[in-house]
């Protein structure tokens, strides 16, 4: 038996954002209905970054993603996030494929944002604000375009080069983009934050009623993008309660005793499955995204099955067979 090796280029050729949104939406639903297994992430911390091991079983497959987060890596000319994903057959444990997980991480994170917009944003949302214009902002925009008719993007990044690159990306998609200060960016229908900040970059009084926020940046203890007062005003939906309390947007407020699990309205999976309500009227909604292993396995399933169908990738004898 041989294991299929899939490079980043292989993976990119085998899945679209629309397919990823559908797969991630289904994964959230199955997890809410207890039809998936996902142990907590395992963290390995270092001075300049960390590693995470993310195992899960869903949709007939089991697997694990090994991913890093080193914010200073771009200064060395390498990505801040890199990942490898192994997909196994749960019935016998055989490693079916080893694939690049870096692109899949970006894709499925964007797809989760798309699912959140579908269920939590106002249906007439047209103006989108972006605080943070790096790589993930592009994937959030691609997902948002699958859900909404975007008329205008407002964007801000502390890195002006990133701002200009994001503006050009918007223009390549035929989306008007205006570079604004953070306060003006927050005057929008849907706000998307994708920064690695450890202090608020969005103030409570900048956000009007009816706004939906995808809070993507906080994915480890101590990270925070939104003022705590804003969390207290909003309906909070998370991807996973345990992960959100540990390292999501709510983690700082929880550590200070200002909010608790009781302040979390639902998981996104519960909303997708119809177990909890999504948007109700002109309220502020926040999706606290930490990133789940079930998302990785759901999109990896599509990639693997298409690769087999189209004979993409290279097969090798990876493990000893006796």
Query: Known catalytic residues?
Result: 65
Strand ordering across the sheet containing 61-69: 42-46, 49-58, 61-69, 83-88, 95-100, 3-6, 314-316
Q: Where are the alpha helices (DSSP H) in 13-80?
A: 17-32
Q: Are residues 141 and 173 in contact, defined by beta-carbon separation less than 8 angstroms?
A: yes
The phi, psi pair for 121, rounded to 5°, reads -85, 160
Number of neighbouring beta carbons within 10 Å of residue 224: 24
Q: How far apart are CA 154 and CA 99, in angstroms?
A: 35
- Pick from 42, 237, 232, 291: nearest CA to 121: 237
Q: How far apart are CA 87 and CA 96, in angstroms?
A: 6
Give the DSSP per-residue string, 64-77: EEEEEE-TTGGGGT
- Pick from 68, 49, 197, 176: nearest CA to 132: 197
């Amino acid at each position: 038996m041989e294991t299929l090796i899939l490079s980043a280029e292989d993976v990119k050729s085998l899945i679209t954002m629309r397919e990823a949104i559908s797969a991630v939406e289904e994964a959230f639903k199955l997890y809410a209905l207890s039809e998936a297994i996902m142990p907590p992430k395992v963290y390995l911390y270092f001075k300049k970054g960390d590693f995470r091991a993310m195992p899960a079983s869903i949709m007939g497959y089991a697997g694990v993603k090994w991913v890093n987060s080193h914010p200073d890596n771009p200064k060395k000319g390498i990505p801040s996030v890199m990942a490898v994903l192994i997909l196994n057959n749960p019935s016998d444990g055989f490693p079916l494929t080893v694939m690049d997980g870096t692109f899949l991480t970006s894709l499925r994170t964007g797809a989760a944002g798309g699912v959140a917009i579908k269920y939590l944003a106002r249906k007439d949302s047209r103006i989108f604000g972006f605080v943070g214009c790096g790589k993930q902002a592009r994937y959030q925009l691609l997902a948002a375009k699958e859900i909404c008719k975007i008329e205008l993007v407002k964007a801000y990044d502390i890195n002006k080069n990133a701002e200009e690159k994001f503006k050009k990306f918007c223009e390549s998609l035929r989306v008007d983009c205006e570079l604004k200060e953070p306060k003006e960016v927050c005057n929008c229908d849907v706000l998307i934050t994708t920064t690695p900040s450890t202090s608020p970059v969005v103030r409570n009084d900048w956000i009007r009623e009816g706004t939906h926020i995808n809070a993507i940046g906080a994915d480890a203890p101590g990270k925070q993008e939104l003022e705590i007062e804003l969390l207290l005003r909003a309906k909070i939906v998370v991807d996973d309660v345990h992960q959100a309390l540990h390292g999501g947007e709510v983690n700082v407020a929880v550590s200070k005793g200002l909010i608790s699990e009781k302040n979390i309205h639902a998981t996104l999976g519960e909303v997708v499955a119809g177990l909890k309500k999504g948007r109700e009227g002109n309220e502020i909604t926040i999706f606290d995204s930490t990133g789940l292993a079930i998302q990785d396995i759901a999109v990896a399933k599509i990639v693997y099955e298409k690769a087999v169908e189209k004979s993409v990738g290279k097969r090798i004898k990876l493990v000893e067979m006796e």
